[in-house]
Amino acid sequence: MTRIDAKFAALKAEGKKAFVAYMMAGDPDYDKSLEIMKALPEAGVDVIELGQPFTDPMADGPTIQRAGQRALESGQTLQKTLDMATEFRKTDDTTPIVMMGYYNPIYSRGVDRFLVDAKAAGIDGLIVVDLPPEEDDELCIPAQKAGLNFIRLATPTTDDKRLPKVLQNTSGFVYYVSITGITGAAEAQATDVGPEVARIKAQTDLPVIVGFGINTPDTAENIASVADGCVVGSAIVKQIGEGKSVAQVAAFVKSLSDGAHRA
Rounded CA separation 241/193 (Å): 29
**Whole-number Å distance between alpha carbons of 99 and 69:** 17
Tell me the CATH class for 3-262.
Answer: alpha beta
Residue 179 has pLDDT above 90, yes or no: no
**pLDDT category of residue 54 using cuts at 50, 70 and 90:** very high
Confidence (pLDDT) at 58: 84
Residue 42 a catalytic site member = no
Q: Residue 253: which residues within 8 A CB-CB, separation 6 or more?
A: 21, 39, 40, 43, 44, 45, 232, 236
Q: Which pLDDT score is estimated for 181?
A: 66
For the beta carbon of residue 205, count every other beta carbon within 10 angstroms: 5
Catalytic residue, chosen from 5, 27, 46, 49, is: 49
Whether pLDDT at 261 is above 70 = yes
Determine which one of 5, 27, 46, 60 is catalytic. 60
Q: What is the pTM of this model?
A: 0.97
Domain ranges in the chain are 3-262
The answer to whether 201 touches 78, Cβ cutoff 8 Å, is no
Nearest to 118 by CA among 36, 169, 50, 70: 50
Which of 44-58, 179-193, 209-223, 248-262 has the lowest average pLDDT? 179-193
Please write the tens of the pLDDT for every residue from 108-154.
999 999 999 999 999 999 999 999 999 999 999 999 999 999 999 99
Active site residue 49: yes
Distance CA(61)–CA(70), nearest Å, equals: 14
Q: Helices 62-73 and 234-241 meet at what angle, rounded to 10?
A: 50
Mean pLDDT of 7-36: 98
- Over 47-77, what HEC string results? EEEEECCCCCCCCCCHHHHHHHHHHHHCCCC
Give the pLDDT score at 59. Answer: 80
* Residues above pLDDT 90, as percent of the chain: 91
pLDDT at 182: 61
